[in-house]
């Protein structure tokens, strides 16, 4: 089981994020997202600190924000040479999400012999299976320590078929600190479905089960998700689970060579 996955650059970044745990613990305005750092309130964290950290990382996220003012801030405080990626944001209040997820679970019963499980501290075998399926489906895997909830609470949903093969996975990360801008929100993502099990509704099913189980664990008030605008398949899955497109909000990722 690799503790980190990716290129030498991404592995180095993931290591730095783990080493910054004390820094993240001191402020509710910076968040370890597992793969990149997220800035919730740069003015409160201090742009000098943000600049110092992103100078090392060369990439940073600004989740659930007004796009234009945030891009203006990036250009002003980080510089005009950063590449900007804008992701659609989806939000769902707990009662609406739970009702929608209950309907999904009822509509897609598990095939006989299949097994659904939830893990806040998965073992090495499960971590390897999840990381491998994520990588196969183009989802950048979380580091192993992150999946073990050693940075923030993370619940990983695993669906195995009757032959014991992992065919779908999703996770919910309770990564936004109490007292911070997104207190009470969780990030629900990391959905992967095995290529030979597509078009069975497994993406909706695994995401719905992850959201239902995580609400019992974390007591979240809102679920969030983000996707690239052209990702129509994920959009349908997210909408089915009761999250709606937040038309006035986006998540921004800035990176530089």
| 67: in domain | yes
Q: What residues make up the domain containing 105? A: 89-246
Q: Return the CATH number at 111.
A: 3.40.630.30
The alpha carbon of residue 221 and the mean position of all alpha carbons in its chain are separated, in whole angstroms, by 16
| 174: in domain | yes
Among the candidates 88, 114, 146, a domain finishes at 88
| 177: in domain | yes
Task: State whether 34 and 78 are in the same domain.
Answer: yes
DSSP one-letter string for the chain: --SS-S-HHHHHHHHHHHHTHHHHHH-TTEEE-SSSEEES-HHHH-HHHHHHHHHHHSEEEEEEE-HHHHHHHHHHHT-TT-EEEEEEEEEEEHHHHHHHHHHHHHHSPPPTT-EEEEESS--HHHHHHHHHHHHHTTPPPPPHHHHTTSSS-EEEEEEE-TTS-EEEEEEEE--SPTTSTTTTEEEEEEEEE-GGGTTSSHHHHHHHHHHHHHHHHH--SEEEEEE-TT-HHHHHHHHHTT-EEEEEEEEEEEE--
Task: State whether 99 and 212 are in the same domain.
Answer: yes
Among the candidates 55, 88, 121, a domain finishes at 88
Task: State whether 73 and 95 are in the same domain.
Answer: no
Q: pLDDT, tens digit, for every residue of 153-195?
A: 999 999 999 999 999 999 999 999 998 999 999 999 999 999 9
Task: State whether 176 and 139 are in the same domain.
Answer: yes
What string of pLDDT tens digits covers the 257 residues of the chain? Answer: 679 989 999 999 999 999 999 999 999 999 999 999 999 999 999 999 999 999 999 999 999 999 999 999 999 999 999 999 999 999 999 999 999 999 999 999 999 999 999 999 999 999 999 999 999 999 999 999 999 999 999 999 999 999 999 999 999 999 999 989 999 999 999 999 999 999 899 999 999 999 999 999 999 999 999 999 999 999 999 999 999 999 999 999 999 98
| 254: in domain | no
Give pTM, 2 decimals.
Answer: 0.96
């Amino acid at each position: 089981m690799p503790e980190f996955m990716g290129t030498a650059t991404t592995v180095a970044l993931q290591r730095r994020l783990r080493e910054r745990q004390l820094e993240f613990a001191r402020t509710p305005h910076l968040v370890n997202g597992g793969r990149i750092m997220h800035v919730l309130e740069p003015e409160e964290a201090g742009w000098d600190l943000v600049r110092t950290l992103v100078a090392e990382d060369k990439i940073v996220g600004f989740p659930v924000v007004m796009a234009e003012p945030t891009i203006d801030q990036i250009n002003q405080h980080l510089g005009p040479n950063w590449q900007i990626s804008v992701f659609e944001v989806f939000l769902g209040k707990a009662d609406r999400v739970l009702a929608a997820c209950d309907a999904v679970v009822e509509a897609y019963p598990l095939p006989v012999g299949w097994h659904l499980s939830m893990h806040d501290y998965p073992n090495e075998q499960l971590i390897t299976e999840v990381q491998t399926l994520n990588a196969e489906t183009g989802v950048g895997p979380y580091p192993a320590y992150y999946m073990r909830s050693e940075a923030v609470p993370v619940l990983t949903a695993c669906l195995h078929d009757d032959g014991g093969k992992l065919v779908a996975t999703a996770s919910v990360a309770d990564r936004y600190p109490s007292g911070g801008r997104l207190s009470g929100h969780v990030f629900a993502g990391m959905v992967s479905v095995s290529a030979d099990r597509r078009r069975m509704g497994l993406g909706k099913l695994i995401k719905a089960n992850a959201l239902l189980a995580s609400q019992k664990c974390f007591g979240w008030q809102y679920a969030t998700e983000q996707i690239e605008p052209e990702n129509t398949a994920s959009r349908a899955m997210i909408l089915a689970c009761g999250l709606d497109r937040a038309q006035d909000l986006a998540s921004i990722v800035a990176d530089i060579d």
